[in-house]
Amino acid sequence: MFSDTTGSWTPVALSADLPPATVIPAWTPAGAIALWRSQSGLISASSDRCPHRGMRLSHGFVRGEALSCIYHGWSYSPAGGCIRIPAHPDLVPPETIRVAVQQVEESDGIIWVAVGEPVAPPPRLDHLVPLRSLTLEADIAAIEAAAGGKSDANGLIGIADCPWVRLLPTTQIGRTLVHVLVEQGRNVADRLMASRFAEALRRRAETDRKDVA
């Protein structure tokens, strides 16, 4: 994905898929994360394991400006520090109880999470509008072959039969998450067509992968 000499950015989700006071599982090359948006709209990317009992924080819940574990309710701030332990309401949690967090940027309807320390922001895609995301059981090479195009400098793949659609893929373990984007100004019919193209491309890419295997 888009990178520089010190780090990289991963497009983990679309803004529309993370409304206020929600948490979803996501993945970067650094591992699994709990991606969450506070009630005020602040987005955070926390390690997806509670340090107490190892429960996935992406199974938890958001209240106000904190992410809480579903198991025992330990709560964490956007900076990663534990701020509340329900079983000990009078205890101020020590600073050593915390989860790792990663830098997050939200732009053009896409949520990017940093791996390492990028010296530049994520690429601007302001001429494109996010449509949907889908997961493919195929690698990026198979997706490029099915689309009839190659990834550009920003990681975008064009579709030969639908040139006003772009795919923004990110590799996961054994699969690829693909965000489907369309050029600004496209109408509802065009968006529906783009979604159908993406589904057809998924079938081609996954079929080609099975044939090769």
pTM: 0.90
For 99-151, the pLDDT digits (tens) are 999 999 999 999 999 998 888 999 999 899 999 999 999 999 999 999 999 99
For 58-108, the pLDDT digits (tens) are 999 999 999 999 999 999 999 999 999 999 999 899 999 999 999 999 999
The CA distance from 118 to 4, in Å, is 6
| Domain containing residue 104: CATH number | 2.102.10.10
Same domain for 143 and 83:
no
Same domain for 61 and 29:
yes
Residue 94, pLDDT score? 94
**Bridge partners of residue 81, in order along the sequence:** 98
Range of the domain at 199: 128-212
Same domain for 13 and 100:
yes
Q: Exposed, middle or buried: residue 134 (CB in 10 Å: 0-12, 13-18, 19+)?
A: middle
From its phi and psi, is residue 176 left (phi > 0), alpha (psi between -120 and 50) or beta?
A: beta
End position of a domain, from candidates 116, 151, 184: 116
The CA distance from 143 to 162, in Å, is 14
Residue 174, pLDDT score? 87
- Give the Å distances, CA to CA, from 53 to 49, 71, 98: 8, 8, 13
